[in-house]
Copies of this chain bind each other. A is one copy, B any other.
Amino acid sequence: MWFERTKNLLVKLAIELPIIQAPMAGGATTPALVAAVSNAGGLGSIGAGYLSPNDIRIAITGTRALTNKPFSVNLFVTSSIKAKHIQVATINRNLDVYRKELHIQQVSDTADYVDLFKEQLAVVLEEKVPVFSFTFGIPSPEAIKILKDNNVIIMGTATTVNEGLQLENKGCDIIVAQGSEAGGHRGSFAGGFRTSLIGTMAFIPQLVDAVKIPVVAAGGIMDGRGLAASLILGASAVQMGTAFLTCPESGIHKKYKLAILDSTEESTVVTSVFSGKPARGIKNRFIEEMEVEQDNVADYPIQNTLTQDIRKEAAKQNRTEFMSLWAGQGTRLSKEKFAADFIESVISEAKKILNTCSRNL
């Protein structure tokens, strides 16, 4: 059924189907979702970027209780930052409008960020997670070496050919190629924001031509057509994120799920106002108002820390106008199927399409 490159990747990852569930941080990737994907033959992924080392262990243990199949854990490559008090005060002044509206009392006047990558990675290694993926950069040579010494398969995220080449040179086993259609944070780490939004149709063949390691296509892939097309462009598998957000097993807020189901391909924009890093999400009041002033946005992860109380309280109060509603550009194709049923439908549609190719010869 599959191209040789896909068969090789499936063997490498010890999975049956070329579908990776994207490691979406922020609560979507519950043990139920990750395990359901892996049990169905795909690769489930824990989006652990925002989790403490202890919470990562809990997520891994929870997932292991539901599956004995391989899954991956994803971390962010960041560094510790001491936020400037003047900047924090300025941004907080603007954010206070929303806090007032949400009746949030306490406001933190610091936004220092302590990088826990080392401690997070230690848990991944101790728990013998078979596949490790990352985004926002490249881990240190030491971290890559430890992963390799422990036979962990390493997947990096690229948004340009240049980033893909860097990942290959630094020892990655697989590249996740994130096209501009993708929901959530851009994984870009080496290019300008405007010039690293490459559509999946253009990005995959150019990256595949430039690197030797397998490429996983991501961005706008929502069904069997997207899977079959991605494989034909040269990808060995696909990574789907938004498509899994509306599964019953996904941990996102009910209103967020409804917002995705109600949205169209025109609903999203790429914005930095929630976290300080460009990310694609459904346009809402917070984005529209915050984007007016560029002074409203600090660098990642300071901005992320500062907006956290607003996003949390907005979720509690079911107010989507202040929540980060990350989603890609394919949301008209969103379904509410269980992960296993969804995967089955994607695979059977892709098989049918590839089958039709042969009948037409």
Query: Most chain-B CB neighbours within 10 Å: which of A3, A200, A283, A333?
Result: A200
CA distance A93 to B315 in the complex (A): 50
Give, as a whole number of angstroms, the nearest-CB distance from A267 to chain B.
7
A195 close to B233 (CB less than 8 A): no
Number of interface residues of A (CB under 8 A): 60
Q: Is A79 an interface residue (CB 8 A)?
A: no
| A201 and B223 within 8 A (CB) | no
Q: Assess whether A195 is in contact with B2, with CB atoms less than 8 Å apart.
A: no
* CB of A118 to closest CB in B, whole Å: 32
Give bound CA distance, A202 to B332, whole Å.
Answer: 9
Is A25 interfacial (CB-CB < 8 Å)? no
Residues of chain A from 306 to 353 with CB closer than 8 A to chain B in the complex? 328-330, 332-333, 353
Q: Is the CB of B179 within 8 A of A199?
A: yes
- Judging by beta carbons under 8 Å apart, are A209 and B332 in contact? yes
> In whole angstroms, how far apart are the Cα atoms of A196 and B360 in the complex?
34
Distance, CA A345 to CA B161, complexed state (A): 24
Binds B, one of A33-41, A46-54, A67-75, A224-232: A224-232
CB neighbours (8 Å) of A203 from chain B are 220, 265, 329
Instruction: Chain B residues near A1: list those with CB within 8 A.
Output: 360-361
The answer to whether the Cβ of A82 comes within 8 Å of any Cβ in the partner chain is: no
Closest to A218 in B: B201
Interface residue? A266 (CB, 8 A): yes
**CB atoms of A179 and B195 under 8 A apart:** no
Give Cα A225–Cα B201 distance, bound, in whole angstroms.
Answer: 9
Whether A296 sits at the interface, judged by CB under 8 Å, is no
Q: A181 and B205: CB pair below 8 A? A: no
* Seed contacts A161-B266, A180-B180, A355-B357; 10 additional CB < 8 Å A-B pairs: A1-B360, A1-B361, A161-B264, A191-B266, A198-B265, A200-B201, A202-B220, A203-B220, A206-B265, A232-B232
